[in-house]
Structure 1
Amino acid sequence: MATELKSSKYRCPQCGAGDFSVTTTQWRCDACGQAFACASGIPRLFVEARLGSQDRKLRDTFYDGLFGRLYQVMMPAIVMPVRPLAMSWPYWIAYGVVVAVLLGLVVGLVDALASGAFALAGLLAAALAVAGWLLSRQRYLLHLMWVAVPAWLSLSRKPYAPPESFAQVHERVLAPLRSAGRRLQVLDVSTGSCNSLYKHGWMDLDADYTAIDLSETMLKQGSDMMSAAGVPVDLVLGDAMELPFQTDSFDVVLSYGAVNGLTDPSKAIAEMARVAKPGGVLLFLDEQIYDAATAVERAYFMKVLSSHNVIHRCPVETFPPTLTDVRVSQVYQFYYICTARKAA
């Protein structure tokens, strides 16, 4: 049996209306009749034909692919050259094992061919072919093989001291929100596994949480994590460039590690500004290299960290005029945080 949802938050991606007939398997817009199927109870509030080509590609080959299914392992491995050894040593061990196995296969193949053991050579060649196919499908991993150690050595020589740290940026934004004196509405765009929404202080607020992502693989991980933590959150499968929410709906709009990789980052930021309330806060983090980077650090940045992006820095010059108090902080060697406020 369908229930009627008369929403001050959601809107139909097809016609912009806000009233839906909702079941566990679909949401149907009362105005235009468009039906949006649900995945594990999560509404898919987007129109597939209108997705940007880059967004569809990343969803299908990256986040719904190997990376998405193994996100909790793959992401720390990618950033291991940047992280302290105390945090990253298990990934360095795994990296060493993988390199040793690949070198062992190459040496074994050469020896087998030299000694005439062609059956063994065939098996080794097949194993190398499979490894090569996997790495060619996820080329950032192939580049990580050769650039990880040089990048770590380069970064280890000169610790980075940001003008404003990751924690300081968040405290600057969070402090006034904690004393808002009212229930806040928080939206996390391209939330992935909800890890950043959960970890970086947003749970300290008196707030209702909404999280949206295009990848079912990632959002199901987020659903599991938030359920295990006992945090109520409204989850939506949707397009960051056509957010299925009403204008002026959220006090806080967040995004961690997504803007630079979208088909049209400027349009996504404009959408984040649209759904923010007047006076609302935007905060988003993504890749941007620091000025003093060496050649090998730049190679690591472009070939691994930023390899899936369409831009490689904060596109501040394209922000809509509704955003004020814009500040871009280089919080790590390869990451910025941008904060802004929607004009009241």
Structure 2
Amino acid sequence: MATELKSSKYRCPHCAAADFAVTTTQWRCTGCDHTFGCAAGIPRLFVEDRLGSQDRRLRDTFYDGLFGRLYQVTMPAIVMPVRPLAISWPYWIAYGVTLVLILGLAAGLITTLVAGVFVTAALLFAALGLILWLLSRQSWLLHLMWVAIPAWLSLARKPWVPSESFTAVHERVLAPLRDAGRRLQILDVSTGSCNSLYRHGWMSLDADYTAIDLSETMLKQGSDLMSAAGVPVDLVLGDAMELPFQDNSFDVVLSYGAVNGLTDPARAIAEMARVARPGGTLLFLDEQMYDAATPMERAYFMKVLSSHNVIHHCPVETFPATLTDVRVSQVYQFYYICTARKAG
């Protein structure tokens, strides 16, 4: 039995109408009669043919692939060189074992070739080739093998303190929101596993939460996280460059680690601004080099940390005129947070 969803925050990606007939398996737009399917009850409010090539590629080969399924393991591996040893040591052990195995196989291959033991050499060559092929399936992982130790040593020799920390930026934004005196509407764009939405202070607000992502694999992890925490959230499968929400719907629009990797970052930011209410807040985090980076740190940044991005800085030069009070804070050596307010 379908229920009518009228005058909601949602809008049809086809015709921009706001009325849907909703069931657990599909959402039908009553304006254009287009039907959107659901995955585990989560509506797919996007048009596949209109997805950007980069967004489709990352979804299909990255987030819906092995990386996404093992996200709780693979993501910490990417940032292993920049995290304290106290929390990254299990990844360094796994890295060390893999590196020793590769070097051992390479040394054994050379030894057996010199000795003329070609059958053993062929087996060692096959084993080494298989490992390198598996690593090359995600090029960042292959590059991590050679750049991790030099990058870590380079970062360890010169402590760096930001002018405004990650925590301070969030507190600057959160403090006035706690005193809003009304229930807020918060949207997290490209939410992934909902980890950032849940862990960076947003749960301290009196708010309703909406989270959107293009990857079913990641969004199902987000559903599990928020369900286990007992936090109600409206989950949507959708396109960050064509958000299926009405204008002026949210008090806060967030995005962590996504903008720089989208097909068209400027369009995505314009969409975030469109769905924000006048006076609303935008906050997003992504990769950006700090000024004092060494050549080895830049190699790690480009080959591993930022390898999937189309830009490598905060694209303030493309912001729509509706965004004011723009502040870009370099909160870590390789990450910025941008905050802005929608005029109105």
**TM norm. shorter chain > 0.5:** yes
Match of 1:173 in 2: 173
CA distance in 1, matches of 2:119, 2:16: 64
Counterparts in 2 of 1:1-344, with a 5 A limit? 1-344=1-344
Structure 1 residue 111, shift from structure 2 partner: 3.2
| Alignment deviations for residues 146-192 of structure 1 (CA, whole Å, 9 cap, x no partner) | 11111110101111110000000000000000111100000000000
Contact preservation (8 Å) 1:17, 1:29: yes
| Alignment deviations for residues 214-268 of structure 1 (CA, whole Å, 9 cap, x no partner) | 0111111111111111111000000000000000000000000000000000000
Task: Give the partner amino acid of 1:213.
Answer: D
Task: Give the partner amino acid of 1:47.
Answer: V
CA distance in 1, matches of 2:54, 2:84: 32
Structure 1 residue 115, shift from structure 2 partner: 4.2
| SS of the residue 2:281 aligns to | strand
Structure 1 residue 4, shift from structure 2 partner: 1.3
Contact preservation (8 Å) 1:247, 1:277: yes
Structure 1 residue 116, shift from structure 2 partner: 4.5
Structure 1 residue 114, shift from structure 2 partner: 3.9
CA distance in 1, matches of 2:7, 2:258: 27
Number of residue-to-residue matches in the alignment = 344
Structure 1 residue 341, shift from structure 2 partner: 0.3
Task: Give the partner amino acid of 2:196.
Answer: S
Structure 1 residue 335, shift from structure 2 partner: 0.3
| SS of the residue 1:135 aligns to | helix
**Unaligned 5+ runs, structure 2:** none
Contact preservation (8 Å) 1:194, 1:222: yes
Deviates more, 1:63-72 or 1:238-247: 63-72
Structure 1 residue 121, shift from structure 2 partner: 3.1
Structure 1 residue 132, shift from structure 2 partner: 2.0
Structure 1 residue 135, shift from structure 2 partner: 2.0
CA distance in 2, matches of 1:20, 1:99: 54
Contact preservation (8 Å) 1:27, 1:36: yes
CA distance in 1, matches of 2:243, 2:91: 36
CA distance in 2, matches of 1:113, 1:23: 65
| SS of the residue 2:104 aligns to | helix
Query: What TM-score comes out, normalization by structure 2 length?
Result: 0.98
| Alignment deviations for residues 91-129 of structure 1 (CA, whole Å, 9 cap, x no partner) | 111110111111122222233434454443333322222
Contact preservation (8 Å) 1:248, 1:277: yes
Query: What TM-score comes out, normalization by structure 1 length?
Result: 0.98
Task: Give the partner amino acid of 2:166.
Answer: F
| SS of the residue 1:160 aligns to | coil
**Unaligned 5+ runs, structure 1:** none
Deviates more, 1:122-131 or 1:145-154: 122-131
Contact preservation (8 Å) 1:8, 1:249: no
Task: Give the partner amino acid of 2:303.
Answer: K
CA distance in 1, matches of 2:320, 2:107: 57
CA distance in 2, matches of 1:217, 1:60: 10
Task: Give the partner amino acid of 1:173.
Answer: V
Structure 1 residue 23, shift from structure 2 partner: 1.2
Structure 1 residue 52, shift from structure 2 partner: 0.4
Task: Give the partner amino acid of 2:16.
Answer: G
CA distance in 2, matches of 1:129, 1:250: 51
RMSD: 1.1
Task: Give the partner amino acid of 2:126.
Answer: A
CA distance in 2, matches of 1:140, 1:106: 21
Task: Give the partner amino acid of 1:271.
Answer: E
The percent of aligned pairs where both chains have the same amino acid is 82
